Structure 1
Amino acid sequence: MARVTVEDCLEHVENRFELVMLSTKRARQLATGGKEPLVQWENDKPTVVALREIAEGLMSYEFIAEQEIVQDEPLFAAFEDESNEAV
């Protein structure tokens, strides 16, 4: 597949900083989260696949947010409750 360029990606995100944040988060999902790529994976690294998805307009913050599990409670809420009871 042809090389992906920053200019191709910037057609779908507002600026380079947003591009870095979005591609980093998506590459982590692909590498560690077991998420399926939306483009063909041709022996590329997860960062390249993430940039291809962005360049083709397949990836956005909304898409990533839908895939993440968001908990309503903080992670240590149960421990905080226990420590307050002991005082």
Structure 2
Amino acid sequence: MARFTVADCMEQIENRFDMTIAAALRARQIEKGSDIMVEHEEGDKPTVIALREIADHKVDNQILNRVE
């Protein structure tokens, strides 16, 4: 599995605070059973998967506008 960095995520969501909130919201969705949109390794935590989704341009800052 390729490594990713915060810089990779910042290409998608430029504001680091918005990126943190977006990753937390997406991780919560994953914990609740939402489909995972990227390849991941067994044992990866939802936060790592969420950041990987952001780095792979599967999730963007539009997640901040959703109401659950």
TM superposition score normalised by structure 2? 0.84
How high is the sequence identity, in percent, across the aligned residues?
A: 45
> What value does the CA root-mean-square deviation take over the aligned residues?
1.6
How many residues align structurally?
Answer: 66
Unaligned runs of 5+ in 1: 70-87
Unaligned runs of 5+ in 2: none
Cα separation, partners in 2 of 1:6 and 1:48, compared to 1, 3 Å: same
Runs of 4+ in 1 over 4 A off after TM superposition: none
The structure showing larger relative contact order (alpha-carbon pairs under 8 Å, at least 6 residues apart) is: 2
TM superposition score normalised by structure 1? 0.67
Name the residue aligned to 1:30.
30
Cα distance in 2 for partners of 1:22, 1:52 equals 12
